[in-house]
Amino acid sequence: MGPWRPAVRRTGPPTARGPRSASAGTPSTGTPSSASAGAPREATGAADPAAAAPGHLDPGHLDPGHRDAGHRAPAALLDPGHRAPAAGQAALRNPGHCAPADVPADPVFDPRPPSNLRARLTSFVGREADIDAIRADLATSRLVTLLGPGGAGKTRLSQEAAEALRPAPRDGVWLAELAPVDDPAAVPEAVLTAVGARETVLYGAGAEEIRAAVADRHDDPVERLVEHCARRRMLLLLDNCEHVVDAAAHLVEELLARCPHLTVLATSREPLGVPGELLRPVEPLPEPAALRLLADRGAAVRPGFRPDADPGTADACAEICRRLDGLPLAIELAAARLRLLTPRQIADRLDDRFRLLTSGSRTVLPRQQTLRAVVDWSWELLDTGEREVLSRLSVFAGGCDLAAAEAVCGPATLEALGSLVDKSLVVAAPGPGGEMRYRLLETVAEYAAERLAESGERARAERAHLTYYRELARTTEPLLRGRRQGEAIARLEREYENLRTALRHAVAARDEQEALCLALSLVVYWQMRDVRVEARNWCAEVMALGPDPFAEPVRRAAPVWEPCIAAPPPMTGEVLHEARRGVHLAHLAYMETELEAWESPEAKRKLQVISEVYEPGMPQTCRAPGMMWFFAVIMLGDTVRMRAIIDASVQTCRTTPGFEWELAYALQMRANLLANRADWAGDAVRDAEEALEIHRRIGDAWGLAEALSARGEAHERKGEYLKAAADYEAAVEHAEHLGAHAQVAVLRARLGSALLETGDHDERGERLLREVIEQQSGTLNEAMPAARLFLAGWLGTRDRLAEAREQVRLLRTEFTLSHFVVFDGFILSVEAWLDALDGRHEEALDKARQALHRAQEPLSLTVAPQMRAACLTVGALALAGVDGGARASDAARCLAVADELTPPRHVASSVERHCRDRVVACVRDALGEQAYEAAYAEGGGLSLEEAAALL
């Protein structure tokens, strides 16, 4: 049979049936009136064009994509025996041309079926996996709905997915754009127009016969649609259904029930709710795809633009994509601004995104030309209750669960929340614990916050949010000590952004009571999670809301047996005073990241006042944050009172019911103290083991890690390095189980050091230290500096001096506390030791003098009483090499004083042993055995000051 030709005669029996060539393939403009021009209209009364096209598609004419068996359309869409009308094919090849009815169609065979999809003008970026998923969906379901927020790219994705179907639907893909349809009753007519069936007539019949035959169906567009689609194998794209969702749903349900070969792919911001509907969420673009889209659209307005042009541009572009939630429309609007602004300028202005992103295409619908218009469209579709809930949800940060949403948004939240999720304005997803969490995309959140402010309800919503999360923190805090510790940590981590926001609201409102309660409820969590800088800053903010409880004249504390957060605010009397003191003490403890600030006379006077406010053994000093009073005494270097305080705390805890956890904490603190003060009576291992037993009994994993660490340190100070390594390894397991990454890093650094000290595990010990250094670089806890110091010492003992020097140099560069008293003393002594080993004796002497000065500070004497001896020993090593050994006798004298200053029962480290052995060898080589012994004996009668004068 030759090429098919449209019928042109109005008399006699029809010789062929098919679409008029005058209308086939003309591009749709997106309006109902133009949609009819974009689809073929029936030339006869036949509903199925297959009868007019008996030819078959030759598989050999199909491109490989058409023969792809991996991406087959559903059976309803396919008919290998069908051949598309040639006139329609010609129009598709030239969408702007419509051949006259009496002109023969192009005889060239074209396998593409008819369609009214228009050619896209921009590239398609980043949805390859989505297209594959939609293909699979369409293979199993006759109704697939693409769901997503405005600007997510649903329309474009639906069209790309439809065109990617292989084999293509026999009777084509037809797009019905519902966005311009204001009246739900007009939906069937709009779809009728889009598929080209608006003016179906029967040629060859008289007027009366026609009227009699079609009177009923001409009155009902749904009937005409059913007649048009009933025998066709086609894919219908229903775009933008959300504002006419009920009408669209009823139409789709009717068509699917009566047109067995029809498949529908819809796009909407909420489900149609039709039986058998398969929902395919259209997620925001992941960052790599979002950056590709920004690069593509940016290069169109600024030739040569590349997001990775330099690190600053890369960071700004990543921030743009992240803060715009990966929404394609928002990213395209941001890209349009590249004509005027740099990526950094755009990123910095995203707090005012609705004014910034207003340069959309002039040819799209008004609601897609600006970011505000996109969200306005969704807002207008909400009822009053939904608007109220959506606006109140904007006060949350990081999402929320249902209980929090109901507490802040009111009792009608559940129903409204379900509707908002359906309408793609709220994202619902299971949280880490499996419970559902609800969040707003940043763009929606900013819009909702504006609406909340306009309503005058912001203050009330923020107060409800603050109250809910204060109570969540307050009631969760006790669970941080015991078997539910992991659950409590997970809860606080999950809600941490909301807790921060609540604290910010309390500070902004200058509500001291709420701020005190929240901060004190988070002190233990901050300690466990090692967020020192943030904790210090929050404490400073809260401190500024009330009077200084440590201002002179000194007001001594009275005993407070219950925690200040045992009940909700308001606090009164001594509880309020203690709450204020608690925040100040927490701030003091977290100031270890800026300890140099406590070296001024004013700061030292405040420490003195703090030390005078409490008496040893008071109940509030046995729990956090009152126990941090102890740090003020440590900073003052009052060793006598320090021992009295810790012993009194242990005694109070032993005699007070309900203080079991507090007893364990006091015991491990005393174990740490005893381990570092070998001159004191007491057994650090015994205290650590009692703490360990308590923590094991109450099921406290964090306490177990701390107690094991304390026992490991006690073993280490006795020279029992394998036992210490075993304890550190066990502590690491408990800390890892809790996700306490900072604690794990510190424990691994200690483990690496202990392994090196054994002398039999050098390779593993060095590897552990290097791993800690690599992972902790840039952090503020003690893991990285300890690891560098341990590694530098060990490298020095192995004569790998260049590597050791590099570790110390990096420590000075990266560690902000490297000039603080104790740390500076340790680092200076290591630097002096390395200089002496390297033959730089004068430089070594200078640094040894500085280190010795640091070692005599009260704090150094308290926490590192062995430091003076170590510094003198390093000085002796430097003296032994000065002037070719001319001062070797002074070196022997200094070594004797160092030995006298070494605390009883102190076990020297490998570095200390290496340094002393080197001094003895150098001095004996220079003086001989008899002169060495004589000089060493002379040194035994010198004071520290006299020995220091020799350096």
**Residue 215: how many CB atoms within 10 A of its CB?**
9
213 has a pLDDT exceeding 60: no
Contacts of 785 (CB under 8 A, 6+ apart): 811, 814, 815, 817, 818, 823
Q: What is the mean pLDDT of residues 126-152?
A: 88
Average model confidence (pLDDT) across the chain: 82
Helix, strand and coil percent figures for the chain, each rounded to 5: 60, 5, 35
73 has a pLDDT exceeding 90: no
Output the pLDDT for position 395. Answer: 96
Please check whether residue 266 is in contact with residue 143, taking contact to mean a CB–CB distance below 8 angstroms. Answer: yes
If pLDDT is split at 50, 70 and 90, which confidence band does 502 have? very high
Q: Which two tokens stand for residue 717?
A: 């100070």
Q: Which two tokens stand for residue 614?
A: 């409490």
Helix axes 245-258, 187-194, angle to 10 degrees: 60
Output the pLDDT for position 522. Answer: 97
49 has a pLDDT exceeding 80: no
Where is pLDDT greater, at 75 or 512? Answer: 512
Least confidently predicted of 513-522, 689-698, 767-776, 854-863:
854-863
Query: Cα(79)–Cα(233) distance, rounded to whole angstroms?
Result: 7
Query: Cα(226)–Cα(124) distance, rounded to whole angstroms?
Result: 34
- Say what the pTM is: 0.74
Q: What is the mean pLDDT of residues 489-514?
A: 96
How many helices, marked H, and strands, marked E, lie in the chain? 43, 7
Helix axes 371-380, 328-336, angle to 10 degrees: 150
Query: Cα(185)–Cα(258) distance, rounded to whole angstroms?
Result: 20
Output the pLDDT for position 325. Answer: 78
167 has a pLDDT exceeding 60: yes
Q: Which of these, 798, 782, 861, 791, lies nearest to 825 by C-alpha position?
A: 861
Output the pLDDT for position 517. Answer: 98
69 has a pLDDT exceeding 70: no
Q: What is the mean pLDDT of residues 75-104?
A: 36
| Strands (E) located in 620-758 | none
Q: What is the mean pLDDT of residues 147-170?
A: 86
150 has a pLDDT exceeding 70: yes
Q: What is the mean pLDDT of residues 920-928?
A: 93
* pLDDT tens-digit readout, 531-544: 888 999 999 999 99
Query: Cα(133)–Cα(109) distance, rounded to whole angstroms?
Result: 32
- How far is CA 763 from its chain centroid? 35
If pLDDT is split at 50, 70 and 90, which confidence band does 34 have? very low
If pLDDT is split at 50, 70 and 90, which confidence band does 392 have? very high
If pLDDT is split at 50, 70 and 90, which confidence band does 371 have? confident
For residue 942, CA distances in Å to 385, 827, 892, 902, 946 come to: 86, 26, 12, 14, 6
Q: Is beta strand 234-239 parallel, antiparallel or unpaired with respect to 262-268? A: parallel
Per-position b or e across 561-598, b if 16+ CB within 10 A of its CB: eebbbeeebebeeebbbbbbbbbbbbbbbbbbeebeeb
Q: Which element (helix H / strand E) includes 146?
A: strand 143-147
If pLDDT is split at 50, 70 and 90, which confidence band does 41 have? very low
* pLDDT tens-digit readout, 600-617: 788 888 888 999 999 999
If pLDDT is split at 50, 70 and 90, which confidence band does 277 have? very high
Q: What is the mean pLDDT of residues 358-373?
A: 60
Say how many residues make up the chain.
951
For residue 418, CA distances in Å to 134, 436, 468 come to: 25, 12, 22
| Strands (E) located in 195-298 | 234-239, 262-268, 278-281
Per-position b or e across 127-157, b if 16+ CB within 10 A of its CB: beebbeebbebbbebbbbbbbbbbbbbbbbb
3-state secondary structure at position 501: helix
Output the pLDDT for position 777. Answer: 65
If pLDDT is split at 50, 70 and 90, which confidence band does 632 have? confident
Per-position b or e across 345-367, b if 16+ CB within 10 A of its CB: ebbeebeebbebbebbeeeeeeb
106 has a pLDDT exceeding 50: no
Output the pLDDT for position 648. Answer: 95
Contacts of 732 (CB under 8 A, 6+ apart): 705, 744, 747, 748, 751
Intra-chain end-to-end CA distance of the chain, in Å: 113
Output the pLDDT for position 845. Answer: 94
- How far is CA 574 from its chain centroid? 40
Q: Which of these, 694, 724, 697, lies nearest to 709 by C-alpha position?
A: 724
3-state secondary structure at position 176: strand
Output the pLDDT for position 82. Answer: 38
Q: Which element (helix H / strand E) includes 174?
A: strand 173-177
Helix axes 783-797, 762-776, angle to 10 degrees: 140
Beta partners for residue 147, in sequence order: 268, 281
If pLDDT is split at 50, 70 and 90, which confidence band does 360 have? low
Output the pLDDT for position 816. Answer: 64
Q: Phi then psi for 340, rounded to 5 degrees? A: -115, -35
Please check whether residue 542 is in contact with residue 605, taking contact to mean a CB–CB distance below 8 angstroms. Answer: no
Query: Cα(435)–Cα(490) distance, rounded to whole angstroms?
Result: 13
Please check whether residue 179 is in contact with residue 155, taking contact to mean a CB–CB distance below 8 angstroms. Answer: no
Q: What is the mean pLDDT of residues 341-370?
A: 70
* pLDDT tens-digit readout, 284-318: 888 888 888 888 888 888 888 888 888 988 999 99
Exposed (0-12), middle (13-18) or buried (19+): which is 543, by Cβ within 10 Å?
Answer: buried
* pLDDT tens-digit readout, 221-233: 899 999 999 999 9
